[in-house]
Structure 1
Amino acid sequence: MTRKIQPPTITRTQEAEGTGFSKVFAFLRDKLLEGSIRSGDRLVPERELALQLGVSRPIVREALRALSMMGVVEIRERVGTIVRKPDVSVLGDFFAFSMAQQADIVDDVMQARIAIEVQAVRLACRHASTSDLERIAAAVDRIEATVDDSEEGSRADYEFHTALVRASRSETLMQLYAAMSTLLMRSHHERRDVVGGDPAVKQYLVEDHARIFQALVARDEDRADQVLRKHFSIGDEYRRKAATGPAARGRPPTREEVA
């Protein structure tokens, strides 16, 4: 059974700020953040909400439809507008669309990824369960098995790092990471394409992920942090050299050139 939420009468100047769509959107957003509206709750009818906020019903309807597209609410015929459990995949689509036309977006996302994973790996050392470690171990095995396949290899790489973040047990980190999933997959795929056919670099990829896993098993936060940072640092250096080095001239770089 859903609760029917009665919005408070707005009397204060700061509550009445904003007009039209932005006012409705901000009001509902704030109520969700405050927790006074929860998943499963039913909002008051559009007419009542419009009267409370001093806007037209079409404006309220537009705001609710926008929230519906974001997965925040569900508009049910003859029932009303129901607050939904957040769907982070919608946020991922928003990220992808909003950033798609930005130059060098993959590098920018990479920096956000590093910030999330470095903290996540420390938390994972404290909180990872047996099933978390088994999931990460399986991803390491899959990275090795697919190292010659750019498509499957990039997917295995993504699964490893996703499992690492999941093992942190931080809901916020997991949701932020999931929100970037489309762009992260693109990043993994582009990096694997750059690797080319160099056996030494492929071996390093397998061994490096195994080292991260071993640090997790040992519950060694400092070691895990160090290995992961080095993993990202070498990846950045590799991409830089690949753009101007031997790979750009027609042959893949050697392991020594990567390091």
Structure 2
Amino acid sequence: MNPVLSDSADELAGTEKVLSFFREQLLSGALKVGDRLLGERELCLALGVSRPVLREALRSLANLGFLDIRHGKGAFVRKADVGVFGDFLTFCLAQQPDMLDDIMQARVAIECQAIRLACIRATDSDLSRIGGLLTRLMDTLHNAEDGGAADFAFHMAIVEASRSPALVTVYRSISDLLKRSHVQRRAETSDAPGITDYLVEAHREVFLSILARDPDKADRMLREHFAIGDELRRKSYIAAFTRKGAPQEEEKEADS
């Protein structure tokens, strides 16, 4: 075997050992935020890796925001930065075809579970916040950029009201893509007949179902909201292509 390739494979295997160890320690609860890792010598002996491999792996974990390396003091577990996770997901998902449609499906899955939990767990403060964002949403109906941002904030508040750290973390991690989706959908449906009334009524019904603490109704209202939104967007596509084709048809008739 090529010695260079062998060394490279050994380094990758060593790095994986370090990462697996760190992951397992966190999952088992043996390591918590603020804890100091074992010293380099102890870790190298325990994992069977060289100091250069260990240091490179620890630097990678520090770059990802999982460790705080303090010179002369050691490496300490850090609270993970969701923004890093979000950047990673954004880079991965942005390369996929029909990315925004796929994100929409993920959004439906997260929000429908979140709203059920929100009906049970939302505090008075959560409900007040969602209500305030509903007002903001209604004040920005005629602006795709501001309206899309307000729409996102309303739905984000519902997810936060679920009081589920996992759902909130995943939702926040794709927030940039979700905001883009909201703005795009607003722009695409801005000329749809009755869009303003629909946006007001749909979001109001969703909010009222949370106030009523009715998970089944809230889930149903939210799914209807998504389904009608998709239908309005489909109709706007048809109308746009029809308008584009109209002049061509008129020219053909004139030529004949």
TM-score, normalising length from structure 2?
Answer: 0.86
Equivalent position to 1:158, from 146, 152, 161: 152
Distance in structure 2 (CA, Å) of the matches to 1:240 and 1:62? 51
Amino acid of the residue matched to residue 107 of structure 2?
A: R
* Residues 67-146 of structure 1 mapped to structure 2, 5 A cutoff: 67-146=61-140
Distance in structure 2 (CA, Å) of the matches to 1:154 and 1:209? 13
Q: Does 1:248 align with 2:224?
A: no
Distance in structure 2 (CA, Å) of the matches to 1:249 and 1:68? 54
Amino acid of the residue matched to residue 208 of structure 1?
A: A
Distance in structure 1 (CA, Å) of the matches to 2:197 and 2:220? 20
Moved more, 138-147 or 56-65: 56-65
* Offset, 1:58: 2.0
Q: Percent identity?
A: 50
- Unaligned regions of 5+ residues in structure 1, if any? 1-17, 252-259
1:179 alignment partner in structure 2: 173
Moved more, 96-105 or 43-52: 43-52
Sort the Cα spacing of 1:45 and 1:248 in 2 relative to 1 into closer, same or farther, 3 A.
farther
- Unaligned regions of 5+ residues in structure 2, if any? 1-11, 245-256
Q: Deviations over 1:93-118 (max 9, x none)?
A: 11111111111111112111111111
1:205 alignment partner in structure 2: 199
* Structure with the higher helix share, 1 or 2: 2
Aligned partners of 1:216 and 1:224 also within 8 Å: yes
* Offset, 1:234: 1.4
Q: Deviations over 1:147-183 (max 9, x none)?
A: 1111111111111111001111111111111121121
Distance in structure 1 (CA, Å) of the matches to 2:144 and 2:51? 52
Aligned partners of 2:192 and 2:236 also within 8 Å: no
Amino acid of the residue matched to residue 99 of structure 1?
A: L
Aligned partners of 1:195 and 1:202 also within 8 Å: no
Aligned partners of 1:122 and 1:221 also within 8 Å: yes
Moved more, 190-199 or 65-74: 190-199
Aligned length: 233
1:223 alignment partner in structure 2: 217
Amino acid of the residue matched to residue 20 of structure 1?
A: G
- Give the CA RMSD over aligned residues: 1.7
Amino acid of the residue matched to residue 179 of structure 1?
A: S
Q: What SS does the aligned partner of 1:63 have? A: helix
Equivalent position to 1:36, from 10, 30, 40: 30
TM-score, normalising length from structure 1?
Answer: 0.85
Q: Following TM superposition, where does structure 1 have runs of at least 4 consecutive aligned residues deviating by more than 4 angstroms?
A: none
Aligned partners of 2:34 and 2:76 also within 8 Å: yes
